[in-house]
Chains A and B, each alone.
Chain A
Amino acid sequence: AQKITQTQPGMFVQEKEAVTLDCTYDTSDPSYGLFWYKQPSSGEMIFLIYQGSYDQQNATEGRYSLNFQKARKSANLVISASQLGDSAMYFCAMREVNTGTASKLTFGTGTRLQVTL
Chain B
Amino acid sequence: NAGVMQNPRHLVRRRGQEARLRCSPMKGHSHVYWYRQLPEEGLKFMVYLQKENIIDESGMPKERFSAEFPKEGPSILRIQQVVRGDSAAYFCASSPGQTNEAFFGQGTRLTVV
Contacts and interface: CB of A to CB of B under 8 A. Distances in A.
Contacts of B109: 43
A47 interface: yes
Interface residues of B, number: 27
A67 B93 CA distance: 26
A42 B45 CA distance: 21
A104 interface: yes
Given A104-B33, A105-B102, A43 B45 contact: no
B55 interface: yes
B98 A103 contact: yes
Contact of A103 (B89, B91, B100, B105): B100
B63 interface: no
B101 interface: yes
A9 to B, nearest CB: 9
29 contacts: A4-B42, A37-B104, A43-B89, A43-B106, A43-B107, A44-B105, A44-B106, A45-B43, A45-B107, A91-B42, A93-B42, A100-B56, A101-B48, A101-B55, A101-B56, A101-B98, A102-B98, A103-B31, A103-B33, A103-B93, A103-B95, A103-B99, A104-B48, A105-B35, A105-B43, A107-B35, A108-B42, A109-B41, A110-B41
Interface of B: 31, 33, 35, 41-45, 48, 55-56, 58, 89, 91, 93, 95, 98-107, 109
